Every structure is written in C-alpha cells, then in structure tokens.
Amino acid sequence: MNKLKIGLFLLFSSFTASFAIAANDANQYASIKSAIEKNTPVYTDAYAKNVKGITYGLEMQNGFIVPPKENLGYTSRKSFDGNKLLGYFQPGTDIVFYVNGQSNRQYPVSEKAEHVFEVGNATITLKFETKDLPILPSSNMIVDDPSFYSNAKVYFVTMDMAPLTIKVETAKEQEQPKEWFDPTLRYNYVQDVKALKNQYLSGVNLDTLDDKELEYLARKMHAERRELGIKFKAATPDHYRKKIYKRNLSKYGDQYGPTISYLRNVQGKSWKEIINSATVPGGGDLWYTGVSYKLGEWRHKIGSFFSGNKKESL
Amino acid sequence: MILLQSKDLFDDILLFDPQTSEKHYLKRSSSPEFAEVPIKGTFAILGGHSLMLYRLGSQLMFSIDEKTIPIDDTLSSVLQKKKKNGLLILKNSSTELLRFEYTLDDLQQMIPGDTTPHLGEEDFDFCTFVHNVLNNHQRRSFIYQAPEA
C-alpha cells in the first residue's frame, strides 16, 4: 500500500510541471473569435509561438491547441498566464472552471456565466461572460474532449472580459425516423420480467437465505434480466435504443447497463436489492410506455378471447 | 489518496487526497495503473458544485465543495423533489448541517422505453443516491467496503 502511495505521489508530482501560454493580444483574439464564429479553420501559428515551456505535451491539431490524446488526465489541461495557473475545465456533464490554489472550488460556467452547452446532435454553443469569474482579462481556456464529443471538433476558446459567444457546429446526426413503441412487444417484455420474478421468487422468503444463496440468486437474476433486455431490444424504438446504449456505455462502461461489479462497488447495493431491482421492467413510468403496455394488454386479451372461442367451436 | 468513481461517466475517476483536499481528475482509459485499485467513493458535479460520497477507513463522508460532513448514526437526510428541482437537507439530531438546492439538467433523464435493468431515480440524481444510501443502514455500512465482484 505504501508503495502505491509513493507511486501515486511521484506520478502526480510530475503533473505539476507546467507549461506556459502567454497572453495573446487583442488582434489575435479577434481573429480567432471571428474564425471560430465563421466555423472556418483557425490558423494559430502566431499563438503557437507564444506557447512556452511545454513539458508533457501540447500538440497542434486542426489549428487548435489540445493536450495529447494519451494525456494522463484532466490535470494536464491547465493554462498558465506567465507563471500563474489560471484554471482548467473538466469536461463532462457540466463545464466547470477551476482556479489555481482553489482546487476544491469549482466555478460553474453554466451558472455564474451566461452559458449554453448542448451535446445532442453535436451542436455545441458556448457563451461565456467572465465578469463573475475570478480570472485575469486575458486568459486562455482549453475546452476539449475528443473522446467524449467524438463527432465534435476540438476547439479552443480565448476569453476576454467582454462577453464572448462562440458557436461551433459540427455534422449533425442524421435525423432518425420516429417510431412508436410496439404495444405487443412492450407487453410481452413486461410479462417476461414478471415471469422471471415468479420463477425465482415465488414462495421464496429472501430473509431466510444466507449471503451465499442471495449472491447466487442475484447473479442468476441479473444475468437473465439482462438477457431479457437484449432479447426485447426491439421493444424500444431504434432512435431511443441507440441513445440508451450510448448512455449506458458512457455511464456504466457497458451498453446493457450496470454490471454486478458496478452495482456492488459503486452503488453499494446489497444482493437483495439487486434481486429486487431485477424484477422491475423499467421505462414504464413514462406515459407513452404505459399507454403502449395497455394497448398490448388489450390486444393480448382480445387475441385470447378469439382464440378461446375458436377452441370452443372446434 | 483514495480513488473515486464518477456517477455520471464511467471513464471518469478522481484521485482525492482527504488530507489536503487535492483532486486529480483522470480518465480510467488512460490510467490502467488504477484498474485494480478499489473504489472508495463516488463523485458528481451538480450545478457546478463538487459532490462526493466516500469512505475514509470505516467512516463514511459526504462533501460538497469545501464542506465535509462525517456520516454517523445521528445524521439523517431529507430530500424534496419537484420535477427537475431538488433540495437535500442533511441534519443531525439538533442541527441542520447542509441545505443544498439543485436543478438537474436535461441530460440526466430517463430515456423513453428504457429496458435497462436496475435503473432508478438515483442513477440520474446524485442527491437521490446519497439520500437513499443514508436512509438504508445496511447500504450505509456496506458501501465502499467491498473489494469484490
């Protein structure tokens, strides 16, 4: 453990090596701003000449300054004005600006500044107004995350005290045709989840099972419930399903949702909680899936009624 | 240093030094050296505030920005929600320790027809997750203890 701590210390000590980005002048700022607004490539050689003391890597990509792809984390996304660290962004669900010496304090761009940030369809609009942020007038910020915004351009934003609006549009995702939930599929899916519950939990009192038995049951039901999700994937319209898989992959590291390891180690769920949550169909709390289920139920009842009559007539 | 997992993005991890409050945000995919390090907490950024639920030794802790609250048996939580707006209150028997108002963004929402198993409200709202953990004694004592699965 001590070795690990020492290793971590050394690792992060090396991160503290700095690079410097000198403040750019007003003309350069204006040209970059104008170019970005026109969505044209920005030629930043002049800017690049001002980059000093690169120790662990900046590279030029499409005319923008970005950290190397193999960067070791957000800590490398720092900008300096002279020797003073101004801050860096943490890309993610929100954009946050950090200030040197105040690593605990995160200044939300979205709240303290006028800010719009959209990822859907890869349209990204950023509006910064810096008057509430404790930074110098000529500061530099790097906003990038090629891995997360895979179809967005990497872009670089220079801030000034004046409000700055930058709009970067990238290729929009192709509009998906809208589909309705297939009522029969939705109904069958819910019925299968109910059947799973009956198969494993009918007449079982979970309180009487020991930990090993609960674990066995939880793993079994987790696996089967996951199979149901895959089997009935067509119960969810294609355009929603793509979103779900994408969300799951980025949120849980697995397109089919949280793994046992995630449920246990990240969410702290007990075996019993995993067993119980495996019996929930999900998605039914939204009115259209509820309506879809009801339609499926009626269709099923009508079908049963006629097939029952047929049997009688035979 | 302890390792925390983002509740929003699987690839995001955080190395946190509870002594100095220093934080290093990392990408899991770029940090294979941490693959086997057990998770000792989770974090999220909500409305620009940094929220963490983590374990130090046997002690469960909650922190928001610079404020850290040890979670002991006297601590309880109240959560009020109305659509995307929420209010989390943490208090011990006599004192209100935290009152945190927040708004969930549009990205943090259930997708229609989602058949993903084991999803609940707490998957999309860190405060609901914290509230659920604090109100479940078994989960409270279990979470971030198990180097398994």
Across the interface, whether the CB atoms of B11 and A229 are under 8 A apart is answered no
Q: How far is B29 from chain A (nearest CA, A)?
A: 9
pLDDT digits (tens, 9 = 90+) for B10-62: 988 999 999 888 888 888 888 888 888 899 999 998 877 889 999 998 899 99
Is pLDDT larger for residue A97 or for residue B82? Answer: B82
Residue showing tokens 């229609």: B112
Across the interface, whether the CB atoms of A289 and B50 are under 8 A apart is answered no
In sequence order, what are the residues at sequence separation of 6 or more whose Cβ sits closer than 8 angstroms to the Cβ of residue B12? A92, B5, B6, B25, B26, B27, B28
Share of chain B above pLDDT 70, in %: 93
Give bridge partners of residue B59 from the DSSP assignment.
B56
Instruction: Residue A15: list chain B partners with CB under 8 A.
Output: 24
Amino acid B20: pLDDT: 87
Please compute, for residue A240, the number of CA atoms within 13 A of its CA located in the half-sphere on the CB side: 20
Nearest to B115 among A262, A264, A281 (CB): A281
d(CA A211, CA A37): 60
With 0-12 / 13-18 / 19 or more C-beta atoms within 10 angstroms meaning exposed / middle / buried, residue B141 is exposed
**Most B-contacting residue of A267, A272, A274, A285 (CB-CB within 10 A), to test interface:** A267
Q: Are strands B2-6 and B41-46 parallel, antiparallel or unpaired?
A: parallel
With 0-12 / 13-18 / 19 or more C-beta atoms within 10 angstroms meaning exposed / middle / buried, residue A16 is exposed
Q: What mean pLDDT do residues B88-108 have?
A: 85
**pLDDT tens by residue, chain A, 314 residues:** 444 443 433 333 322 222 222 233 445 445 444 544 444 333 222 222 222 222 122 222 222 233 322 222 222 233 333 222 233 333 332 333 333 333 333 333 333 222 222 222 222 333 333 333 332 222 333 333 333 333 223 233 333 322 333 333 333 344 444 555 666 777 788 888 899 999 999 888 999 999 899 999 999 999 999 888 887 776 677 777 888 888 888 899 898 899 999 999 999 999 999 999 999 887 644 445 555 556 666 666 666 665 554 443 33
Complex confidence, ipTM? 0.93
Amino acid A90: pLDDT: 32
Amino acid A290: pLDDT: 57
Q: How far is A231 from chain B (nearest CA, A)?
A: 10
Q: How far is A313 from chain B (nearest CA, A)?
A: 39
Residue showing tokens 């045709």: A177
Across the interface, whether the CB atoms of B111 and A12 are under 8 A apart is answered no
Across the interface, whether the CB atoms of A282 and B23 are under 8 A apart is answered no
d(CA B25, CA B23): 6
Give bridge partners of residue B87 from the DSSP assignment.
B80, B101
* Angle at CA of residue B10, ends A282 and B109, nearest 5°: 40
Q: Specify the DSSP element, H or E, that contains A4.
A: helix A2-15
d(CA B125, CA B131): 10
Amino acid A306: pLDDT: 56
Task: Pick the residue from chain B with its C-alpha nearest to A183.
Answer: B113
Report helix, strand or coil for A70.
coil
Q: Are A268 and A153 in contact (CB under 8 A)?
A: no
Across the interface, whether the CB atoms of B149 and A261 are under 8 A apart is answered yes
Across the interface, whether the CB atoms of B48 and A270 are under 8 A apart is answered no
Amino acid A179: pLDDT: 54
Across the interface, whether the CB atoms of B113 and A105 are under 8 A apart is answered no
